[in-house]
Amino acid sequence: MRRGLSFVNVTALALGLAFLYLPILILVIYSFNASRLVTIWGGWSTRWYVSLLGNQAILDAAWISLRIAFLAACVATVLGTLAALALVRAGRFRGRLLFSGLVYAPLVMPEVITGLALLLLFVAVDIERGFWTVTIAHTTLTMGFVTVIVQARLLGFDRSLEEAAMDLGAPPLRTFMTVTLPLIAPAIAAGWVLAFMLSLDDFVIANFTTGPGARTLPIHIYSEVRLGVKPEINAICTIIVAVVALGIVAASLLTKLSGAKPESSGAPL
Amino acid sequence: MNGQHQSDNPVTTRSGDPAASPLVRFDAVSKRFAGVTAVDGVSLDIYPGEFFALLGPSGCGKTTLLRTLAGFETPDSGRVLLNGEDLTRVPPHRRPVNMMFQSYALFPHLTVAGNVAFGLKQDGLPQEEIAARIAEMLALLRLEGLEARKPHQLSGGQRQRVALARALVKHPRVLLLDEPLAALDKKLRGETQFELMRLKERLGLTFVIVTHDQEEAMTVASRIGVMNHGRLVQVATPSEIYEQPNSRWVADFIGDVNLIDGRVAEKTTVVTTVATTPAGTIRAAASDAKPGDSVAVALRPEKIRIGREVPPASLNAVEGEVAAIGYLGDFSIYKVRLADGFVMEAAAANVARVIERPVSIGDRVWLSWATDAGVVLTQ
């Protein structure tokens, strides 16, 4: 049943999209502004993108952010997947409810509190704050998201596939590697992408847990903006928006892929 | 109906060849799930070369029993033996049995060839031998040309055959089939039943099938174990189960039956006479029942003749009024209301295409049956 969009529908849609994306659109447009003054339009130009390449501070910050996001996403994916396996497959072990609460807490905990708590911890155990503390903090932050995604996939998993593998002579570990893992891989990959993105654009927790020499991109942008918005910041923000958008598309494609029931009932993979 | 069972000693089983030693032995196997007894002290022997069917309503424990043989369930008590060797604690991947799953459980990320090769690869066979065995098995199941397809690109019948090929390619000592044909349509199911029998003969294997479909069990199996409430209630050949049920429950579960309650009036070595309210005195086949015992006479509808004429005195006969007729094409089912309101069912083959004076609703008719048609059931 298809209906044409009425005038009201179109208006509502336009207003909704404008509310969500107009600020970002303005940011993107002004990143191509030729003028040095952020608020005055001086014609189209890509000069700020070129000058970004010469801005060592921004490039350093971006490099640190990417490395942290990569490491945190990898560790969070392994831990989050293991947590999901424990929650779905280990049956009703003692403290299961507590465990799932603990896994999901970072998802709903205000970032300020998580950040502060981690800061207190790092101070208490006297770790030098910097690259590694931010990585640990981001692993904590993102692990729960990976668990949610992988757990959803495992819940829809046809256990008889694993039984079939064992029945055909595969020991439990090989069954996991040759049957379970390939089938939940899209969900794991989606979890990784989401964790990477969350780490890349996190400011609050990074700000709490970082130290000298580990300035992530969001922290760098924030401190630059405090001294006045430079056109270069618009350019780097536009790049981040593009990367995040690509990541979101990739993650949702992967989730869709893993959500497609790969049972013998035959939904296309 | 009632769920009465025989006394505590397990139903004894006999094979066609009593001298043979059993290939599979369930020794007093019990399994409980969260307080519910799924399998309750089942002892059963299955012999080499048998096509054995575990038949029962859903939830009767037949699948759980099969899964204890595959190794997916560990019995709470009792043992499972294969060729005299205790398998109870052996994990599934070390058991020389293979299973075909109800959902087929084909690996969706592997091709047809990959699915069939999976089990052979676990054994570390050389590439050439794997390729040869796959080719042989795909030819046997008429799956040539589909090697590179993924499961979702196959029809239901093809998927079913791939699942069968995957389970057979390892030459299991016993092939376990869990409701293998439930997902197929009626016509394909019928063809596949004969296909299964052909494969079993061709490969000389032992098959154990779990099904709730009594017609399927009757068609394919050489012996049937009827299960209810976690227990085996009767183990016998299909014709014995149908013609010689050992309880009301089995008689009612397998096929259609008229169960007429009564009391044994008299018995000789060949005839048991039962006094019943709906049908008067019935002469039935010989039984263990003693005079005075409360029993039921089981009468299959197709063994009852329906007609307008008064039948000869040598037959059991009762008069009634036709209440309903069900036309099935090859057969018609007549529901006949007797004097006291008891409705008896008779089935008649539609031998002639055109009948001059067909029996119709409201007609007064005579139902008649031979002495050996009725089976006296004591429980």
Among the candidates B250, B283, B312, a domain finishes at: B250
Among the candidates B250, B280, B315, a domain finishes at: B250
Among the candidates B191, B220, B250, a domain finishes at: B250
Mutation target to probe the A interface, by most A beta carbons within 10 A, among B68, B103, B179 is B103
What does the pLDDT read at residue B18? 53
**In which region does residue B35 sit, left (phi positive, over 0), alpha (psi from -120 to 50) or beta (all else)?**
left
Q: Judge if B82 and B189 occupy the same domain.
A: yes
Measure in Å the smallest separation between the Cα of A74 and chain B Cα atoms.
24
Residue A264 confidence (pLDDT) above 50: no
| Domain extent for B368 | 256-377
Asked if the C-beta of B109 comes within 8 angstroms of chain A's C-beta atoms, the answer is: yes
Q: Judge if B228 and B246 occupy the same domain.
A: yes
Look at residue A146 and tell me if it is in a domain. Answer: yes
Asked if the C-beta of A95 comes within 8 angstroms of chain B's C-beta atoms, the answer is: no
Q: Write the DSSP symbol of residue B93.
A: G
What does the pLDDT read at residue B131? 92
Look at residue A39 and tell me if it is in a domain. Answer: no
Look at residue A189 and tell me if it is in a domain. Answer: yes
Look at residue B4 and tell me if it is in a domain. Answer: no
* Number of Cβ within a 10 Å radius of residue A182: 14
- The residue among B284, B288, B291 whose CA lies nearest residue B263 is B291
Residue A269 confidence (pLDDT) above 60: no
Asked if the C-beta of A262 comes within 8 angstroms of chain B's C-beta atoms, the answer is: yes
For chain A, the domain total comes to 1
Q: Nearest residue of B to residue A185 by CA position?
A: B109
Q: Judge if B195 and B340 occupy the same domain.
A: no
From A164, A172, A266, residue closest to B105, measured CB to CB? A164
CATH code where residue B242 lies: 3.40.50.300
The end-to-end CA distance of chain B, in Å, is 11
Q: Judge if B241 and B328 occupy the same domain.
A: no
What does the pLDDT read at residue B13? 42
Q: Report whether A14 contacts A25 (CB < 8 A).
A: no
Inter-chain contact A169–B123, Cβ cutoff 8 Å?
yes
Residue A54 confidence (pLDDT) above 50: yes
CATH code where residue B313 lies: 2.40.50.140
Measure in Å the smallest separation between the Cα of B311 and chain A Cα atoms.
56
Inter-chain contact B105–A264, Cβ cutoff 8 Å?
yes
From A165, A263, A267, residue closest to B103, measured CB to CB? A263
Look at residue B3 and tell me if it is in a domain. Answer: no
Q: Judge if B92 and B210 occupy the same domain.
A: yes
State the pLDDT confidence band at A3, using cuts at 50, 70 and 90.
low
pLDDT in tens, B22-39: 899 999 999 998 888 899
ipTM of the complex: 0.79
What does the pLDDT read at residue A29? 87
Q: Nearest residue of B to residue A157 by CA position?
A: B105
Chain A 164-223, residues with CB within 8 Å of chain B CB atoms: 164-172, 174-175, 178-179, 182-183
pLDDT in tens, A139-188: 999 999 999 999 999 988 888 999 999 999 999 999 999 999 999 998 99
Chain A partners within 8 Å of B107 (Cβ): 161, 164-165, 179
Output the six-digit token pair for B251: 């008689």
Asked if the C-beta of B70 comes within 8 angstroms of chain A's C-beta atoms, the answer is: yes
**In which region does residue A124 sit, left (phi positive, over 0), alpha (psi from -120 to 50) or beta (all else)?**
alpha
Look at residue B314 and tell me if it is in a domain. Answer: yes
Inter-chain contact B152–A174, Cβ cutoff 8 Å?
no
Inter-chain contact B93–A262, Cβ cutoff 8 Å?
no
What does the pLDDT read at residue A119? 92
Q: Which amino acid, B61? A: G
What share of chain A in percent tops pLDDT 70?
94
CATH code where residue A139 lies: 1.10.3720.10
Measure the CA–CA gap between B113 and B131, rounded to whole angstroms: 9
| Domain extent for A235 | 56-260
- For range A213-239, the mean pLDDT: 85
Q: Judge if B282 and B320 occupy the same domain.
A: yes
- CA dihedral in degrees (B155, B156, B159, B161; nearest 10)? -110
Look at residue A269 and tell me if it is in a domain. Answer: no
What does the pLDDT read at residue B360? 85
- For range A229-233, the mean pLDDT: 80
Q: Judge if B270 and B346 occupy the same domain.
A: yes
Asked if the C-beta of B31 comes within 8 angstroms of chain A's C-beta atoms, the answer is: no
Look at residue B261 and tell me if it is in a domain. Answer: yes
Output the six-digit token pair for A163: 């039984």
Q: Nearest residue of B to residue A171 by CA position?
A: B93
Dihedral sign for Cα atoms in the order B88, B94, B100, B104: positive
Tell me the pLDDT of chain A averaged across its residues: 86
- CA dihedral in degrees (A210, A216, A219, A224; nearest 10)? 130
Look at residue A111 and tell me if it is in a domain. Answer: yes
pLDDT in tens, A99-145: 888 888 888 889 899 999 999 999 999 888 889 999 999 999 999 99
Q: Judge if B246 and B265 occupy the same domain.
A: no
- The residue among B122, B112, B113, B127 whose CA lies nearest residue B92 is B122
Q: Report whether B311 contacts B301 (CB < 8 A).
A: no
Q: Nearest residue of B to residue A166 by CA position?
A: B93
Higher pLDDT, B67 or A38: B67
What does the pLDDT read at residue A47? 84
Inter-chain contact A262–B154, Cβ cutoff 8 Å?
no
- SS3 sequence of A143-165: HHHHHHHHHHHHHCCCHHHHHHH
Look at residue A266 and tell me if it is in a domain. Answer: no
Q: Judge if B263 and B349 occupy the same domain.
A: yes
Chain A 8-67, residues with CB within 8 Å of chain B CB atoms: none
Look at residue A4 and tell me if it is in a domain. Answer: no
Q: Nearest residue of A to residue B154 by CA position?
A: A266
Measure in Å the smallest separation between the Cα of B85 and chain A Cα atoms.
18
Q: Judge if B221 and B327 occupy the same domain.
A: no
- The residue among B95, B193, B112, B125 whose CA lies nearest residue B152 is B112
Q: Judge if B191 and B81 occupy the same domain.
A: yes
Chain B partners within 8 Å of A175 (Cβ): 93
Q: Nearest residue of B to residue A169 by CA position?
A: B93
Q: Which residues of chain B have pLDDT under 50?
A: 1-16
Asked if the C-beta of B357 comes within 8 angstroms of chain A's C-beta atoms, the answer is: no
Q: Judge if B329 and B191 occupy the same domain.
A: no
Measure the CA–CA gap between A55 and A52, rounded to whole angstroms: 5
